[in-house]
Amino acid sequence: MKKTFLLITVLVLSVLSFSQIKYVFFFIGDGMALPQINSAELYLTKINNKDTKLQMSKFEAQGMTTTYSQDSFITDSAAAGTALATGYKTLSGVINMNADKTIKYETIAERAKKNGMKVGIISSVSLDHATPAAFYAHQSSRSNYYEIAMELVESDFDFFGGGGIKYPKGKSKNEKDFYEYAEENGYKILNTEKEFDNFEDKNQKVIIINEDLSSGSAMKYDIDRQDEFSLSDITKKAINILDNEKGFFLMVEGGKIDWAGHANDAVTNIYDTLAFDESVKKAYEFYEEHPNETLIIVTGDHETGGMTIGFAGTAYSTYFDRINNQKVSFENFDQVLSKYKKQNASFEDIKHLINENFGLFFPEDKEKAKDKGMILNDYEVKKIKQAYDMSWKDKVPNTEYTYLLYGGYEPLTITLTHILNEKSGISWTTYSHTGVPVATFAQGYNSEMFNGYYDNTDIAKKLFQIIG
């Protein structure tokens, strides 16, 4: 009798415990593993002249998470997003369906919506990209952008914000307009700063698209951002709009950490990691007001670029302050170069751009360099001239050699980022993803469940258990 009573008591307490959760934040740094996190912290430590940690790495629970997909040790974002959102492995490129593409998986966001919670999805890349799509769409291919966008509307989620839609009228441009379809289904579309600032309607479903987007219908890299609202601005707005008696589930993706990793651009990667952490801070501020009802999860879907702290040329030293010499992202510098390419500018004509945007000095200008480590050696000058010659071709040859050097990016730009990164003590191994585990952090309600070493599918399983 006593054993039965104790068992019932434990079960009742367990049920009561799980019924307390009200607010769930799920942050995903796309392409973010320990090298990206640690690099951002070392950068802050150097410029602040004191040990500085990101908000996420100060959380009370910390784990390591494996990321492989069903068909590869190195996952893509679709399979990783599916694992994080549903608890199931699938093939790379597939969103929330099994390997046979016959079964659709329920996502944690869909479960939260069924349970009466409001749901928000935020991303710095397009809202129909793989990671945000993994919380509301079910497609055999992540490339089905138009179909994914239609599922966004049909999800009936309460808040979407960040980037835009890649193909609002389909790839043929003859399909029903996404924005019209969204408005017909009760969504308000906001795409100006003024509309964003003034919007406060908690009862209105909304899609907020940054006013000034870059390539791929994504938000600008944070290093290039000027007056546009930031990822943390959108996160703060989402919290204010979604907050209600039944609670909410909010997924926030820092999608361009990944894009900068693919391009091996360390300072742009770091800036977007810092912008992502600023969004985490908004959630933490909310947690401090609701500590017993809030859970914050922060993780990555995979690592991108094989980013490494250390380079053969700098041995045991790092110089993270040197990356501050880069003033714009690789994407922005590509645009600068394109103007000079149209004019068929000579190498001498573009040398000043290298100094102005990357702080690198050619040997003849070495007297102007305060940091002698920023003076280019003969080998580096040769690499830059070779890259200039390749960039100025009508078409860069598609060979194994050129891919290993430039990864399909603008040869001169990526050569300059590589040189600056290496002088700072940072190097890269790939232009793709890697298979290393990622870090997972948790704060708040039942956060202890996220300590330890586990698979990315376990994050979703734990969240399903917590939400109920």
77 noted as active-site residue:
yes
User: What does the alpha-carbon distance between residue 174 and residue 183 come to, in Å, rounded to a whole number?
Assistant: 18
User: What does the alpha-carbon distance between residue 202 and residue 156 come to, in Å, rounded to a whole number?
Assistant: 15
| Cα 257 off chain centre by | 5
Assigned token pair, 64: 């390591």
Is 253 marked as binding a ligand?
yes
* Sign, Cα dihedral of 456, 283, 22, 136: negative
User: What does the alpha-carbon distance between residue 40 and residue 286 come to, in Å, rounded to a whole number?
Assistant: 24
Q: Beta strand pairing status for 61-66 and 205-209?
A: unpaired
Q: Where are the alpha helices (DSSP H) in 221-329?
A: 231-242, 256-262, 266-289
Note whether 455 and 80 are within 8 A (CB).
no
Q: Please, which residues have CB within 8 angstroms of residue 368's CB and are 6 or more apart in sequence?
A: 361
Contacts 24+ apart (CB under 8 A), 289-292: 290/22, 290/23, 291/444, 292/20, 292/445
Is 30 marked as binding a ligand?
yes
Q: Where are the alpha helices (DSSP H) in 305-444?
A: 330-342, 347-358, 378-391, 400-406, 411-424
- Between the alpha carbon of residue 27 and those of residues 73, 158, 291, 405, the distances in Å are 23, 18, 18, 33
Place of tokens 């010659």: 389
Catalytic residue, chosen from 17, 19, 57, 77, is 77
Is 262 marked as binding a ligand?
yes
SS3 401: helix
User: What does the alpha-carbon distance between residue 151 and residue 97 come to, in Å, rounded to a whole number?
Assistant: 14
Assigned token pair, 272: 């977007």
User: What does the alpha-carbon distance between residue 454 and residue 460 come to, in Å, rounded to a whole number?
Assistant: 11
Is 301 marked as binding a ligand?
yes
- Nearest residue to 327 (alpha-carbon basis) of 212, 220, 224, 218: 224
SS3 300: strand
User: What does the alpha-carbon distance between residue 253 and residue 120 come to, in Å, rounded to a whole number?
Assistant: 11
Note whether 76 and 433 are within 8 A (CB).
yes
How open is the CA angle 352-353-356, to the nearest 5 degrees? 85
Note whether 149 and 167 are within 8 A (CB).
yes
Q: Which residues are annotated as a binding site for Mg(2+)?
A: 30, 129, 131, 253
Q: Which residues are annotated as a binding site?
A: 30, 129, 131, 253, 258, 262, 301-302, 433
Q: Which residues are annotated as a binding site for Zn(2+)?
A: 30, 258, 262, 301-302, 433
Active site residues: 77
